[in-house]
Chains A and B, each alone.
Chain A
Amino acid sequence: MTELSKSGAAVGEPTGTSPAPSSFLEVRDLKVHFPTDDGLVKSVDGLSFKLEKGKTLGIVGESGSGKSVTSLGIMGLHTAGQYGKRKAQISGEIWLDGTELLSADPDEVRKLRGRQMSMIFQDPLSALHPYYTIGQQIVEAYRTHHDVDKKAAKRRAVEMLERVGIPQPDKRVDSYPHEFSGGMRQRAMIAMSLVNNPELLIADEPTTALDVTVQAQILDLIRDLQKEFGSAVVVITHDLGVVAELADDILVMYGGRCVERGPAEKVFYEPRHPYTWGLLGSMPRLDREQQDRLIPVKGSPPSLINVPSGCAFNPRCPYADIPKDDLTRTVRPELTEVGSQHWAACHMSQEQRERIWTEEIAPKL
Chain B
Amino acid sequence: MLAYLIRRLFAAAVMLVVIVMVVFCIFFLVPKWAGVDIATSFVGKQADPAAVEAVRQKLGLGDPIYAQVWEFFKGIFVGRTYSGGGDVTQCSAPCFGYSFRSEQAVWPVLTDRFPVTLGLALGAAVLWLILGVAAGVLSALKRGSFWDRGAMVVALAGVSLPIYFTGMLSLAIFVFGLKLFDGQYVPLEESFTGWFGGMILPWITLAFLYAAMYARITRATMLEILGEDYIRTARAKGLKEQTVIGKHAMRSTMTPILTMLGMDLGALIGGAILTETTFSLPGLGQAVLNGIKTQDLPIILGVTLITSVAVLVANLVVDVLYAVIDPRVRLS
Contacts and interface: CB of A to CB of B under 8 A. Distances in A.
Contacts of B148: 84
Contacts of B141: 83-84
B325 interface: yes
A130 B229 contact: no
B248 interface: yes
B293 interface: no
A113 B143 contact: no
Interface string B311-329: 0000000000000011110
A114 B143 contact: no
B236 A113 contact: yes
Interface string A61-99: 000000000001001010011011100000000000000
Given A81-B226, A178-B328, A129 B143 contact: no
Nearest to A115: B238
B328 A119 contact: no
Contacts of A119: 236
Contacts of B144: 84-85
Given A128-B233, A131-B325, A84 B145 contact: yes
B7 interface: no
Interface stretch (B11-19, B239-247, B301-309): B239-247
Interface residues of B, number: 32
A131 B252 contact: yes
Interface residues of A, number: 32
B238 A121 contact: no
Contacts of B228: 126
B328 A140 contact: no
Interface string B196-239: 00000000000000000000000000000010111111111111
B229 A121 contact: yes
A127 B226 contact: no
B236 A118 contact: yes
Given A110-B240, A130-B326, A145-B238, A83 B226 contact: yes
Given A114-B236, A130-B328, A144-B237, A84 B230 contact: no
Contacts of A123: 229
Contacts of A129: 230, 233-234, 248, 251-252
B32 interface: no
A112 interface: yes
Contacts of B331: 178
A292 to B, nearest CB: 39
B45 interface: no
A127 B230 contact: yes
B142 interface: yes
B243 to A, nearest CB: 8
Interface in A127-146: 127-131, 133, 140-141, 144-145
A115 B236 CA distance: 10
A150 interface: no
Nearest to B142: A84
Interface of A: 72, 75, 77, 80-81, 83-85, 110-115, 118-119, 121, 123, 126-131, 133, 140-141, 144-145, 176, 178, 192
Given A115-B238, A176-B328, 15 more contacts: A81-B231, A81-B245, A84-B142, A85-B144, A110-B239, A113-B235, A113-B237, A119-B236, A121-B232, A121-B236, A128-B233, A130-B230, A133-B327, A140-B239, A145-B238
12 contacts: A81-B241, A81-B245, A110-B239, A112-B238, A114-B236, A121-B232, A126-B229, A127-B232, A128-B233, A129-B230, A144-B238, A192-B237
